[in-house]
């Protein structure tokens, strides 16, 4: 495993997701604060990052990128072209660029850079902050297995990883990157149900959240099909089947399927904004 404690990391455009990744990586203790430099567009943002994360910061992307072994591109899709133009001759084949930018392909990044720089694409999600992230990873045409492994090692510090063909990335963005927002709405709604059924709100929210966590862990740990696990909870003529009937009446499945499909469709077009 490529050692992370000997690498220097530059987070280019450390906004919400960049900060989440830095926090998660620091929490693992594999990487020290001194190994990280972060950039942003405004000095005010850099001040927040220094105060919260105790890392060095600069407004100068070139300086940050030059000093790093691993350059993490964390800007919005619309800002990516400008940053890549700025860094086109700075980034070298002995570095690796890891991009978490939605909608921007490894090919697009490689084309903008003047050197044959290894590029790896990663699509994480915000539960990375609490060590429960899900990150899809794919290597570009100049990346080797060791670059993909290095990226897996970084994102394994903050959750699970999966190496996937890049063709799947817009779908991944719609499912696991946008997904936490959908699940929060589900948790909020389950809690509302609990309140309607007479529970105090804080109790209802805790019950709803832990139930989602437990159900997700059952799917992952047992590797059973979710339908089998659902059937196991559903006693004939019991209360669960009455609840399921209401879910089906309300079109929960179709609504969730459409939500993922729409988010994935949008992921494809972000670059054109």
Ligand X SMILES: NC(=O)c1ccc[n+]([C@@H]2O[C@H](COP(=O)([O-])OP(=O)(O)OC[C@H]3O[C@@H](n4cnc5c(N)ncnc54)[C@H](OP(=O)(O)O)[C@@H]3O)[C@@H](O)[C@H]2O)c1
- Contact set with ligand X (CB under 6 A): 12-18, 39-42, 45, 61, 74-77, 79, 82-83, 100-102, 123-126, 177
**80 versus 191: smaller Cβ distance to ligand X:** 80
Q: How far is the CB of 76 from ligand X (least distance, A)?
A: 5
* Cα–Cα distance measured from residue 87 to residue 170, given in angstroms and rounded to the nearest whole number: 25
Adjacent-strand bridge partners of 126: none
Residue nearest to ligand X (CB): 15
Q: How far is the CB of 120 from ligand X (least distance, A)?
A: 14
Q: How far is the CB of 101 from ligand X (least distance, A)?
A: 4
**Nearest one of 38, 42, 5, 34 to 19, comparing CA atoms:** 38
Q: How far is the CB of 230 from ligand X (least distance, A)?
A: 28
Q: How far is the CB of 56 from ligand X (least distance, A)?
A: 15
**128 versus 205: smaller Cβ distance to ligand X:** 128
Q: SS3 of 19, please?
A: helix
Q: How far is the CB of 271 from ligand X (least distance, A)?
A: 10
**17 versus 150: smaller Cβ distance to ligand X:** 17
Q: Crossing angle, helix 43-53 and helix 16-27, to 10 degrees? A: 20
**38 versus 204: smaller Cβ distance to ligand X:** 38
* Cα–Cα distance measured from residue 271 to residue 102, given in angstroms and rounded to the nearest whole number: 8
Q: How far is the CB of 167 from ligand X (least distance, A)?
A: 18
Do 7 and 32 form a contact (C-beta atoms < 8 A)? no
**109 versus 204: smaller Cβ distance to ligand X:** 109
CA 47 → CA 44, 204, 212, 223, distances in Å?
5, 38, 36, 45
* Cα–Cα distance measured from residue 211 to residue 186, given in angstroms and rounded to the nearest whole number: 11
* Cα–Cα distance measured from residue 260 to residue 273, given in angstroms and rounded to the nearest whole number: 20
Pairing of strands 70-73, 96-99: parallel
Q: Crossing angle, helix 239-249 and helix 252-269, to 10 degrees? A: 50
Q: SS3 of 157, please?
A: coil
Q: SS3 of 53, please?
A: helix
How many CB atoms lie under 10 A from the CB of residue 48? 14
**142 versus 169: smaller Cβ distance to ligand X:** 169
**12 versus 208: smaller Cβ distance to ligand X:** 12
């Amino acid at each position: 495993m490529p050692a992370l404690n000997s690498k220097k990391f530059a987070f280019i455009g450390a906004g919400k997701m960049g900060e989440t990744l830095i926090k998660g990586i620091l929490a693992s203790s594999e990487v020290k604060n001194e190994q990280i430099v972060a950039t942003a567009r405004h000095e005010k943002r850099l001040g927040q990052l220094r105060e919260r994360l105790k890392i060095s910061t600069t407004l100068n992307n070139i300086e940050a990128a030059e000093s790093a072994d691993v350059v993490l591109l964390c800007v919005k899709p619309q800002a990516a072209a400008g940053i890549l133009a700025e860094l086109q001759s700075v980034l070298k084949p002995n570095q690796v660029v890891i991009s978490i930018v939605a909608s921007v392909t490894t090919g697009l990044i490689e084309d903008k850079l003047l050197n044959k720089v290894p590029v790896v694409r990663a699509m994480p999600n915000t539960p990375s902050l609490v060590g429960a992230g899900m990150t899809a990873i794919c290597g570009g045409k100049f990346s080797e297995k060791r670059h993909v492994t290095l990226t897996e090692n970084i994102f394994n510090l903050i959750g699970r990883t999966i190496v996937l063909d890049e063709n799947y990335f817009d779908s991944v963005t719609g499912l696991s990157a946008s997904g936490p927002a959908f699940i929060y709405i589900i948790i909020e709604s389950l809690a509302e149900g609990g309140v309607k059924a007479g529970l105090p709100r804080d109790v209802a929210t805790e019950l709803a959240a832990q139930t989602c966590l437990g159900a997700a862990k059952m799917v992952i740990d047992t590797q059973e099909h979710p339908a089998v696990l659902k059937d196991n909870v559903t006693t004939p003529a019991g209360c669960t089947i009455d609840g399921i009937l209401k879910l089906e009446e309300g079109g929960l499945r179709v609504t969730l399927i459409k939500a993922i499909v729409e988010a994935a469709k949008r992921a494809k077009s972000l670059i054109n904004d």
